[in-house]
Amino acid sequence: MSRWILHVDMNNFYASVECMFNPALKDVPMVVGGDEQARHGIVLSKNEIAKTRYGIQTGEVLWKVRQRCPHILVVQPDMEKYLKISRMAMEIYGEYSDRVESFGLDEAWIDTTHFGKKDSVHVADALREKIRKELGVTASVGVSFNKIFAKLGSDMKKPDATTVLSEENYRNLVWPQPVSSLLFVGRATEKRLSRLGIETIGDLACYEKALLRTSLGKWGEILWSYANGLDCTPVAPKDIHDQIKSIGNSTTTPRDLRCEDDVKLVLYRLADQVAGRLRANGLCGSTICLSVRDCMLHTFERQCRVHYPTQLSGEIALAAFSLFRKNYNWQHPVRSVGIRITDFEENPNVQLDLFGCAYRRDRTIKLETTLDKIRNRFGNQILYRASMMTAPEITDIALHQEYTRTGI
């Protein structure tokens, strides 16, 4: 029996939510963007006027956008609003299936095999109407026999449309699409495929699989399977979405970081936030991941394991700083850094020792938990480390929260 899977993508999500809360924004070119003074000046989302009339795209830098549209209105992102609407959307999806897999705040797969093909299309249309009426935003829905093509279908017609890609029509509709439209084909992979003469999904589907494996390794064979509609990945059960796989924070600082002291201050600021969110979820992590981007936009990531699963900011910051010192050669100043922690345990046991380390850790956890309560009540800026006062221009920063959950 063929599977039937929907992929729902809420259109221009951040901008649409802002327009729903403030309808006047629908009538002017508007983008949701970062703080240009703090060097976060890129387009995160745009409304239909900005997109269709001025050709503004997500990811563009705002100073270039202003050249085409000097009167563009820039709205600062409000993640709490977006999270709220995202949760409400997930509740709607759950009315139709117990297999609902999120793919970011604004996208999700829904397994509707139990409805069959015809009724799955009706469900897609019903979902779009329900989202529009109850959430005040529009959505595009792809309907297909696998997750990859369902995702592609939701991208093909926007806004507020249903696209069906079946085993009968996918060659006519999917294969002419540029290969970059296929999920997981990023810029680097697109360039490598282009060197092989592969420009469309059809080119990829008809290419010799063995040659792809030679050129791209196992990943080439996987992409060939995707292009031929051979994705068998299941939609995860609804309750799996609450299993957090990693928690992180990152920031682009208002000025470049030029010495280790600068980096250390920012890492402690990030670690405070990561540790607080770990404690809020009752989690301890064993693997610390550091990401660094320099002023030339070169990026690297490194990770290490700590001796005991931790939710303490000091232990997280020191591990991240150790990774930085071992791996950064200071050819260029640092533009942005991030900390992420994975490999979680809930309330792990810590081995006792003769030197009282376990006792001191327990005291520190109680102290940081108390700080969490004060910050939750009065705001994050009410209490901070004294060292932050030495360079407020880089520690008083906007942090980008990251939750990674089970995905495809």
Cα–Cα dist 196/294, whole Å: 32
Look up 107 and say whether it is catalytic: yes
Q: Which helix (H) or strand (E) holds 119?
A: helix 116-135
400, 249 contact by CB (below 8 A): yes
Q: Given the residues 48, 101, 107, 368, select the one marked as catalytic.
A: 107
β-strand pairing of 244-257 with 100-102: unpaired
Q: What letter represents residue 167's amino acid?
A: E
Cα–Cα dist 91/101, whole Å: 12
Following CA atoms 291, 406, 142, 218 in sequence, which dihedral angle do they give, to the nearest 10 degrees?
70
Q: Which residue has the tokens 């064993």?
A: 286
For residue 394, list its beta bridge partners.
none
Whether omega before 159 lies within 30 degrees of 0, making that bond cis, reads: yes
Taken in order 355, 358, 364, 367, is the CA torsion positive or negative? negative
Residue 326, number of CB atoms within 10 A of its CB: 10
Q: Which residues are catalytic?
A: 107
